[in-house]
């Protein structure tokens, strides 16, 4: 694929109406804020199973924003039209989708079907928030969109991985059969303010432990790699993917191609939190991927997108957020 000459303009969203599912979650709430800043009318929906209304405090001040507390597996919004549907509702952290395993499969299957039907009825462009977990424990590095993955279909992560794979193919079948304008974002590890301190993911875990002066818990030997994308860069990728006229029916990785080992990452977090670097090793959870790194050539060429925020800058913002959360708790 060669680079497409196209410039993203915020006007694409101005005066239009978007539905955001999972609006009270980490990514959903940042997306809502971004769309509102573009002058878009935003309808948010969330059942608050893993989200938090506090994340929408800023959005609620806007006359362009409205919110429904509902489970999207059986919900229909009263609004007549939507130009855009961003479908982000789904538990996303391993701790959450283990606790809510069946709910996770239902929101990604029935919930996605419900939203696709809505997109058809209301004439909306549909974006599915999928995940790098569709690649499972990958045997190919870095992972390009053409890689089919290496997923355990009945393991402890399968409720998430396999239901996202189902959501992807359902989305593609609505595109093939009905010509629905769909786009699929394969989201890789994203971090930033508004992550839950107890969501079990490595970024909040390390920061909270470092701020409390505790040793950082490293699963396995810490040589497994992850690539962390700052939330503002992720949101930029999502709005571009939805807006790009030539991205109809496309699947695009959105993540940071800079790989770091968990041990290197622990050192950076400890340093930025101003604490002594101490780690404590614990057993690796089953099916934990050894390497995870996106090939983002397609996002670069199709969307003119690139991660902009350095790990240090992104972590500074995130650490400041968690400091406030901890101060509020004390």
Ligand X SMILES: NC(=O)c1ccc[n+]([C@@H]2O[C@H](COP(=O)([O-])OP(=O)(O)OC[C@H]3O[C@@H](n4cnc5c(N)ncnc54)[C@H](O)[C@@H]3O)[C@@H](O)[C@H]2O)c1
The residues annotated with a catalytic role in the active site are 160
Residue 309 binds ligand X (CB under 6 A): no
- Candidates 129, 134, 238, 303; binder of ligand X (CB under 6 A) is 129
Instruction: Name the segment binding ligand X (CB under 6 A); options: 20-28, 32-40, 237-245, 299-307.
Output: 20-28
3-state secondary structure the chain: CCCCCCCCCHHHCCCCEEEEECCCCHHHHHHHHHHHHCCCEEEEEECCCCCCHHHHCCHHHCCCEEEEECCHHHCCCCCCCCCEEEECCCCCCHHHHHHCHHHHHHHHHHHHHHHHHHHHHHCCEEEEEEEHHHHECCCCCCECCCCCCECCCCCCCHHHHHHHHHHHHHHHHHHHHHCCCEEEEEECCEECCCCCCCCCCHHHHHHHHHHCCCCEEEECCCCCEECCEEHHHHHHHHHHHHHCCCCCCEEEEECCCCCEEHHHHHHHHHHHHCCCCCEEEECCCCCCCCCCCECCHHHHHHHCCCCCCCHHHHHHHHHHHHHHHHHHHC
Least separation, in Å, of the C-beta of 195 and ligand X? 7
- Candidates 47, 114, 171, 309; binder of ligand X (CB under 6 A) is 47
Least separation, in Å, of the C-beta of 88 and ligand X? 4
- Candidates 48, 139, 169, 290; binder of ligand X (CB under 6 A) is 48
Tell me how many residues contact ligand X (CB under 6 A).
30
- Candidates 40, 43, 83, 111; binder of ligand X (CB under 6 A) is 111
Instruction: Name the segment binding ligand X (CB under 6 A); options: 10-18, 21-29, 78-86, 315-323.
Output: 21-29
For residue 120, what are the CA distances in angstroms to 136, 146, 240, 271?
A: 31, 27, 21, 50
Least separation, in Å, of the C-beta of 73 and ligand X? 5
Instruction: Name the segment binding ligand X (CB under 6 A); options: 33-41, 47-55, 238-246, 312-320.
Output: 47-55
Least separation, in Å, of the C-beta of 98 and ligand X? 13
Instruction: Name the segment binding ligand X (CB under 6 A); options: 36-44, 83-91, 238-246, 263-271.
Output: 83-91
Q: Which is nearer to ligand X, 41 or 47 (CB)?
A: 47
Residue 190 binds ligand X (CB under 6 A): yes
Residue 203 binds ligand X (CB under 6 A): no
Phi, psi of 36, deg, nearest 5: -60, -40
Examine residue 302 and say whether the peptide bond preceding it is cis (omega within 30 degrees of 0). Answer: no
- Candidates 20, 32, 43, 92; binder of ligand X (CB under 6 A) is 92
Q: Which is nearer to ligand X, 190 or 318 (CB)?
A: 190
Least separation, in Å, of the C-beta of 298 and ligand X? 17
User: Binding residues for ligand X, per CB under 6 A?
Assistant: 21-22, 24-28, 45-51, 71-73, 88-92, 96, 107, 111, 129, 131, 187, 189-190
């Amino acid at each position: 694929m060669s680079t497409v000459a196209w410039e993203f303009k915020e006007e694409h969203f101005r005066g239009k109406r978007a539905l955001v599912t999972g609006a009270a979650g980490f990514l959903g709430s940042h997306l809502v804020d971004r769309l509102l800043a573009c002058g878009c009318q935003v309808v948010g929906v969330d059942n608050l199973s893993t989200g938090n209304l506090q994340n929408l405090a800023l959005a609620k001040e806007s006359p362009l924003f409205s919110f429904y507390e509902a489970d999207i597996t059986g919900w229909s919004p009263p609004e007549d039209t939507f130009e855009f549907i961003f479908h982000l509702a789904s538990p996303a952290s391993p701790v959450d989708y283990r606790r809510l395993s069946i709910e996770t499969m239902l929101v990604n299957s029935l919930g996605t079907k419900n939203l696709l039907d809505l997109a058809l009825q209301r004439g909306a462009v549909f974006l599915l928030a999928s995940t790098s977990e569709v690649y499972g424990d990958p045997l190919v590095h870095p992972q390009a969109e053409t890689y089919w993955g290496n997923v355990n279909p009945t393991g402890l992560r399968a409720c998430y991985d396999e239901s996202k794979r189902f959501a992807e193919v359902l989305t593609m079948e609505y595109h093939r059969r009905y010509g629905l304008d769909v786009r699929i974002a394969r989201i890789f590890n994203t971090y930033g303010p508004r992550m839950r301190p107890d969501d079990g993911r490595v970024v909040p875990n390390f920061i909270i432990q470092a701020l409390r002066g505790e040793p950082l818990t490293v699963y396995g030997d810490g040589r497994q790699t992850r690539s962390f994308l700052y939330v503002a860069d992720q949101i930029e990728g999502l709005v571009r993917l939805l807006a790009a006229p030539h991205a109809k029916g496309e699947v695009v990785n959105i993540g940071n191609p800079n790989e770091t080992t968990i041990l290197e990452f622990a050192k950076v977090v400890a340093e930025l939190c101003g604490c002594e670097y101490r780690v404590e090793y614990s057993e690796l959870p089953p099916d934990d991927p050894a390497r995870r790194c996106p090939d983002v050539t397609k996002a670069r060429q199709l969307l003119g997108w690139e991660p902009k925020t350095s790990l240090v800058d992104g972590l500074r913002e995130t650490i400041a957020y968690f400091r406030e959360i901890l101060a509020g708790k004390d």
